[in-house]
Structure 1
């Protein structure tokens, strides 16, 4: 039987696209577990969700899976949002009785609507009733991992005789869908292919359009054939 969570505390994690999102969510979950209280996740975008590119859609998909995995109270997606982000955060915080908010240290440069001043200072004025937790973003790691790759694009891996290759239009045969990050400065399709399988993010290396180590892909696609 599920325990009834405390209602005197409630945590909101604000995430934006990038590697730090999952780290923030897990930090929020750890704190919510310690306090035995509800956890909410919020992301805001000025574009409609139907217009998100492959990279953004990939993050939304991963965060949705993570929210389910961690039994988050609610994953709130405010798309097609024209209001300033601090107003959205304030409204969500009031609606759900939020007492603690977790944001990334570099949020003021990522959340494009905040153009002047500190994002935290703006939020403090809008949400004076909540405590804030600022989680440092490990930019060097992010740059090291993705700095040599182009922006991710939606891609598909399909069987090609005994190998597996990457294509960029939805195939009519069985496929594995994910996001391809191409190495900068190469004329070939070299890079990494990231995909979700069994509620986990996985990645395989791509060399000249083919999966370098196909064992994982084979175990997923081979039962279909």
Structure 2
């Protein structure tokens, strides 16, 4: 008679990709691993090499790494520069770590939109027929936050004018900070948010009529 599988024989893999719902999936994985008393891993897959990630994607990665460590996950795995189908990459990592349960997001952005389609789920189940698959629903408000409130981000720069900082969409020698500007939908003015990296941290400040609302935040980062 075969041995009965115990709690510690379970292993959970959380799959996240560029977007705001990754943290929620990681916390769900931690919750499940705590209930089962088993280890969990976090995986992200990307077709680009790490050194080609933009500032926002890099910020998500750093946050996920920190959260993974904070919650006591066994490992955060990055599979970058991947040209193979996502299902095969997930299956490879799952087999390497003897994973028994996988968590994915139902409405994650970008390439992982395909996760919501039966074809992706069927592909994953064909690769891992004995693994339990958890498909977690993502709140519509999370998904809509930037899709519906702001236009697509564009690269821009900040120039100091007195005690203020203003947006510039052309790089000039007096530019002091580079980032991404997200313009509010439905406005004729440059109102929205400006996101930028300071070291490994992603920051954002509000913009009104092309000017930063809280210039002291920008000044403190530049002078640090």
TM-score bracket, normalised by the shorter chain, equals: 0.7 to 0.9
Q: Return 5+ residue gaps in structure 2 as ranges.
A: 1-6
Paired residue total: 217
The C-alpha deviation readout for 1:125-173, integer Å capped at 9, x for no partner, is: 1112321211102234422444131233566768654334556769999
Contact 1:54/1:152, CA 8 A, preserved across alignment: no
Bigger Cα displacement from structure 2, 32-41 vs 109-118: 109-118
Moved more, 140-149 or 159-168: 159-168
1:36 aligns to what? 37
* Equivalent residues of 1:154, 1:179 under 8 A apart: yes
SS state at 2:99 partner: coil
- Pair 1:113–1:132, CA change in 2 (3 A): closer
Structure 2 partner of 1:22 = 23
Is the Cα contact below 8 Å between 2:180 and 2:194 reproduced in 1? Answer: yes
User: Following the alignment from structure 2 to structure 1, what is the Cα–Cα distance between the partners of residues 221 and 110?
Assistant: 41
Whether 2:101 is the aligned partner of 1:100: answer: yes
- The 2-side partners of 1:132 and 1:47 are apart by 26
Q: Does structure 2 conserve the Cα–Cα contact (< 8 Å) formed by 1:108 and 1:118?
A: no
Residues 106/119 of structure 1: CA separation in 2 closer, same or farther (3 Å cut): farther
1:161-212 deviation per Cα after TM superposition (whole angstroms, max 9, x unaligned): 433455676999986x765422245565421234678998664311133322
Q: 1:62 to 1:174 in 2, by over 3 A?
A: farther
1:141-180 aligned within 5 A: 141-153=142-154, 161-165=162-166, 179-180=180-181
SS at match of 1:28: helix
Q: Which has the larger Rg? A: 2
Q: Provide the C-alpha distance between the structure 2 equivalents of 1:66 and 1:102, rounded to a whole number of angstroms.
A: 16
Contact 1:107 1:119 in 2 (8 A): no
Helix, strand or coil at the partner of 2:9: coil
| Counterpart for residue 61 of structure 1 | 62
Deviation larger for 157-166 or 69-78 = 157-166
How many Å apart are 1:27 and its aligned residue? Answer: 1.2
Asked if residue 211 in structure 1 is aligned to residue 206 in structure 2, the reply is no
Counterpart contact for 1:46–1:79, Cα < 8 Å: yes
TM-score by length of 2: 0.74
Q: What RMSD, in angstroms, separates the aligned Cα atoms of the two structures?
A: 3.7
1:29 and 1:70 in contact (8 A); partners too: yes
- Cα separation, partners in 2 of 1:138 and 1:59, compared to 1, 3 Å: same
Is the contact between residue 21 and residue 142 of structure 2 (CA under 8 Å) also seen in structure 1? no
